[in-house]
Structure 1
Amino acid sequence: MNVLLWMAAILLILMILIGGDKGKRSFIAIFLNFGVIFFTIFIMTIPKVDPIILTLIASTVISCINLFYINEVNNKTITAFISTIITVVILLLFILIVTESAMIQGFGAEEAEELSVFSLYIGVDFTKIAASVIIMSTIGAITDTAIAISSPMREMFHHYPSISRKELFAFGISIGKDILGTSTNTLFFAFFGGYLALLIWFKDLSYTLEEIVNSKIFSAEIITIFCAGIGVALIIPITAWINSYFLIKQRVKNKIINKDT
C-alpha cells in the first residue's frame, strides 16, 4: 500500500510540475475513469442490463472526462467529442459482427480449469460483453487521437484564417498519418507487455504456432488490437472532416456578422 501511495504521489508531482493545472486534472481523471469502469463492470453483471447500451453510456462519460474535464469545454474538445462518439458507434457495430463471427466470446480452454468451480449460467450475453470489452479497451486511444488532430487544426486555422476547407482537411490527415503508426504500435506492445506471461505459458505447454493463433485468448486479444487500430484509423478522417467543416462554417458566419455590422 505504501508503494502505491508513493508512486501515486510521484506521478502527481510530476504531472503538476510538467502540466500545471491541466496535469492535476489529468491525474484526477485517472481515478474518475477508474470509477466509471468499475461501476460499468458492476452494472454489467445484472442480467437485465444491455451491455451495449451501458458501454455507449460509459464511453460517453469517459470521453467527457478525458476531453471536457481535462481540456475544458471549447470548440476543439466539442468537435473531438462528436468525432469520438461517431467513431465509437460505427466501431461498435463492426465489433458486434466480428465477435459473433469469430466466436471469441466466453472463456478459453486455458481458463476452464480455474473456472471449473464456478457456474457459467449467469444470465449475460457474452457476445455483447466481448464487444463491450473491446470498446472499453479502445476508447482511450480514440479520444487521444481525436484531440491530437483537433488541437493543431485549430491552431492552423488561427494562424492562417484564409485556408480552404480542402487544405485544412489535408492538414488534419497529415497529422493523423504521423499519429497512426505510433498509436497502433503502442496498442500492439501493450498487448504483448500485458500478456507476456501467457506467451511464456504457451511456450512451456509446447503450443505450435497454429495452436497459439487459434487459441481463443490469443485471438481475442489480437482482434482487440485490430479493432483498436481500426478505431484509431477511422477517427482520423472523421475528426479532420468535422473540424474542417465547423471551422470553415465559423469563418463564413463571422464574415456575415461583420458584414451586417
Structure 2
Amino acid sequence: MNVLVILAVMLCMAMVMIGGKTGAISFLSLFLIFLVLLGTVYMMNDPANDPILWVIIACVIISCINLFFINGINTTTLAAFLSTVITMVGLLLFILFMSDLTMINVFGEEEVDELSLLSLYIGISFAELAAVVIIISTIGAITDISISITSPMREVYLHNPGMSRRELVQAGFAIGRDLLGTSTNTLFFAFFGSYLGLLIWFKDLSYSLGDIVNSKIFAAEMLTILCAGIGIALVIPIASWITAFLLVRKK
C-alpha cells in the first residue's frame, strides 16, 4: 500500500512539474474517472438496471471529464466530444452484434476450475457484460484520437483562416493517418503485455494455432483490440467533418 501511495505521489509531482495547472487537473481527473467507473459497476450490479444504458452514461461522463474538465469548453473539445459520442454509440451497436456472433459471452474451458465454486446466476446478461467491457476498454483510445485530431485542425485553421471546409477535412484526414498506425500498435502491445502469461500458458498446454485462435479468452481479447481499432478508424473522419463544420460555421 505504501508503494502505491509513493508511486501516486511521484506521478502527481511529475504531472504538475511538467503540465502545471493542467497537469494537476489531469491527475485529479484520474480519480474522478475511477469514481465514475466504481459507480457504474455498482449500478450494473442491480439486475433492474440496464448495463448498456449505464455504460453509455459512464462513457459520456468520462468524455466530459477528459475533454471539458481538463481543457475547458471550446470548439476543439466540443468537436472531440461530439465525435466521441457518435463513434461510441455506433461502435456499441457493432460490439453487441459481434459479441453475439462470436459467442464470447460464455466462459472458456481455461476458466472452469476458477469458476467451479461460484454461482453464475447473477442476474446480468453476459452478452451485454462482454459488450460493456469492450466499450470501456476502447473509450480512452477514441477520446485520445478525437482530441488529437481536433486540436491540430484548430491550429491549422487559426494560421490559415481562408481555408475552405473541404481543405480542413483533408487536413484532418492527413493528421488522422499519422495517428492511426501508432494507436493501433499501442492497443496491440497493451494486449500482448497484459496477456503474456496466458500466451505462455497456451504454449505449456501445447495448444496449436487453431486452438489458440478458437479459445474464448483469446477471441474476447482480440475482439476488443479489433473493435478499438475500428473505433479509432471511424473517429478520424467523424472528428474531421465535425471540426471543419464548427470552425467554418464559427467564422
- Residue 230 in 1 paired to residue 237 in 2? no
Question: Which runs of structure 2 are paired with 1:66-85 in the superposition (5 Å)?
Answer: 66-85=66-85
Q: What corresponds to 1:7 in structure 2?
A: 7
Per-residue deviation, 1:106: 2.8
Q: What corresponds to 2:248 in structure 1?
A: 248
1: CA distance, partners of 2:173 / 2:91: 19
Per-residue deviation, 1:81: 0.3
Q: What corresponds to 1:51 in structure 2?
A: 51
Moved more, 137-146 or 37-46: 37-46
1: CA distance, partners of 2:22 / 2:108: 42
Q: How many residues were matched structurally?
A: 251
Whether the 8 Å contact between 2:75 and 2:243 is mirrored in structure 1 is: no
Q: TM-score, normalised by structure 2?
A: 0.98
Per-residue deviation, 1:30: 1.1
Q: What corresponds to 1:20 in structure 2?
A: 20
Task: Look at both structures and tell me which one has the larger radius of gyration over its CA atoms.
Answer: 1
Whether the 8 Å contact between 2:100 and 2:127 is mirrored in structure 1 is: yes
User: Which residue identity does 1:94 align to in structure 2?
Assistant: F
Identity %: 58
Q: What corresponds to 1:92 in structure 2?
A: 92
User: Which residue identity does 2:224 align to in structure 1?
Assistant: T
Cα RMSD for the two superposed structures = 0.8
Question: Which runs of structure 2 are paired with 1:94-243 in the superposition (5 Å)?
Answer: 94-243=94-243
2: CA distance, partners of 1:42 / 1:113: 27
1: CA distance, partners of 2:109 / 2:46: 25
1: CA distance, partners of 2:37 / 2:108: 23
Q: TM-score, normalised by structure 1?
A: 0.95
1: CA distance, partners of 2:212 / 2:121: 28
1: CA distance, partners of 2:107 / 2:12: 37
Moved over 2 A (4+): none
Gaps of 5+ in 2: none
2: CA distance, partners of 1:167 / 1:83: 19
